[in-house]
Amino acid sequence: MTILVTGGRGSVARSLVPLLREQGLQVRVGSSAPEGADAVRCDLTDPTTFPAALDGVASVFLYAEPSHVGAFVTEAVNAGVRHIVLLSSAAVFFEKADESPLAKSHLDVERALIGSPIQATLLRPGTFCGNALAWSWAIKSGEPISLPFPGAHCDPIHEADLAACAAAVLTDPALAGRPYTLTGPQSLTFTEQIGILGRAIGREIAVKPVTREEWKAQMAGHVRGDFADALLDWWQSCDGVPATLTGTVEELTGRPARTFESWAREHAGSFTR
C-alpha cells in the first residue's frame, strides 16, 4: 500500500513520514518543491501535478488547500484512492465559519471530501505549538512581545502528536472515517506560554499589551487585513476563557499528549541568537 503524504516540508508531514516508514509502509512524499528519492511534485494549487502524485496510491494525508480540491478528489477517485486523512482545523466550529478566513478553507475541503465516494477522516486540531514561532524574532532581538489579548487561552498541540494521530488513523481501519477534535493537554494563556518559553531559554521575556489597532498596524506587512481581524476576534473571544480540551490524542495513540513545555525545550534554539 502506497501512502501519499502531501505538504512534505511541513512540520506534521516531517514527523509523519518516518512513523509510517517504521511500520514498513511505502510512503510517497508530495511537495511543491520535492526533495529526495521518494518525493514527488504535488502542488495542491496545480492540478497538473495530481495524476503522477496519485498514481498507485491507496491512502492520502492531505493538507487543506481548497483552490483545486475538486480536481484532487476527482483524480484520487480515478486513481483508486480509498482513504483520505485531512489535516483540517477546529476553526470549522466557529460561528459563521463560512465567513471566517480562519475556517473557510478547511470547511471547503471537508465538504469536498465528505461529498466524495472516498472514505474521509477529519483531524481538527486547535492551536499548533509551532504557532509560538511567530514570537521568535522579537524574543531573539530582546524586544517585548506585543499582545492585544495576553489573557487569551489556547490549547497548544505538539505537531508530533498530530503526526502520531495521523499515523494511527491511516493504519488502523477501525479508526477511519470519522472526525476527531485534537487538543494539547493544557489550556494556556499567551502570557503563560511566553513564561514557559522564557524558562526554556533561561531568561524572562517581556510582554507589551497593545490595542487591536496597534497590533494590526504592526502586522500589516505580514498578515492581511481580514485574516488579522479574524485572529483578533478569535483571541478576544478566548480572553479569560479556558479552552475546552479533549483526550483524543491519547485515545488514538495510547499515550498522553505532549505538553507545550516539552515543545519549548525542544525548540529553545529557535528563540535564541
* Pairing of the two strands 39-41 and 179-182: unpaired
Cell of 211: 490595542
Mean pLDDT over 36-62 rounds to 95
At 121, the pLDDT band (50, 70, 90 cuts) reads: very high
Strands, E, within 169-219: which ranges? 179-182, 188-189, 207-209
Q: Is the pLDDT of residue 60 over 90?
A: yes
Domains along the chain with CATH numbers: 2-125 (3.40.50.720), 128-156+184-243+258-273 (3.40.50.720)
Q: Is the pLDDT of residue 35 over 90?
A: no
Mean pLDDT over 186-193 rounds to 98
The pLDDT tens digits of the residues spanning 61-118 come to 999 999 999 999 999 999 999 999 999 999 999 988 999 999 999 999 999 999 999 9
Average pLDDT, the chain: 96
- Bridge partners of 119? 83
At 273, the pLDDT band (50, 70, 90 cuts) reads: confident
Say what the pLDDT of residue 64 is.
96
Query: Percent of the chain having pLDDT more than 90?
Result: 97
> Residue for cell digits 505537531?
159
At 37, the pLDDT band (50, 70, 90 cuts) reads: confident
Say what the pLDDT of residue 54 is.
98
Measure the CA dihedral 261/263/266/268, to 10°: -70
Distances in Å between the Cα of 23 and the Cα atoms of 39, 170, 172, 197 are: 18, 11, 12, 34
Query: Percent of the chain having pLDDT more than 70?
Result: 100
What residues contact residue 173 under an 8 Å CB cut-off, 6+ apart?
Answer: none
DSSP assignment string, 60-81: EEEE---TTHHHHHHHHHHHT-
Please provide residue 13's backbone torsions phi and psi, each rounded to the nearest 5 degrees: -60, -40
**In this structure, how many other beta carbons lie within 10 angstroms of the beta carbon of residue 14?**
16
Question: What angle do the packed helices 69-79 and 104-114 form, to 10 degrees?
Answer: 30
At 250, the pLDDT band (50, 70, 90 cuts) reads: very high
Mean pLDDT over 130-139 rounds to 96
What residues contact residue 178 under an 8 Å CB cut-off, 6+ apart?
Answer: 121, 122
pTM: 0.95
Question: What angle do the packed helices 159-171 and 11-22 form, to 10 degrees?
Answer: 40
What residues contact residue 96 under an 8 Å CB cut-off, 6+ apart?
Answer: none
Say what the pLDDT of residue 110 is.
98
Mean pLDDT over 178-204 rounds to 98
- Residues 195-222 as b/e (b if ≥16 CB within 10 A, e otherwise) read bbbbebbeeebebeebebeebbeebeee
> Measured between alpha carbons, how far is 249 from 143 in angstroms, rounded to an integer?
35
At 31, the pLDDT band (50, 70, 90 cuts) reads: very high
> Measured between alpha carbons, how far is 49 from 52 in angstroms, rounded to an integer?
6
Say what the pLDDT of residue 95 is.
87
> Measured between alpha carbons, how far is 158 from 125 in angstroms, rounded to an integer?
10
Mean pLDDT over 213-233 rounds to 94
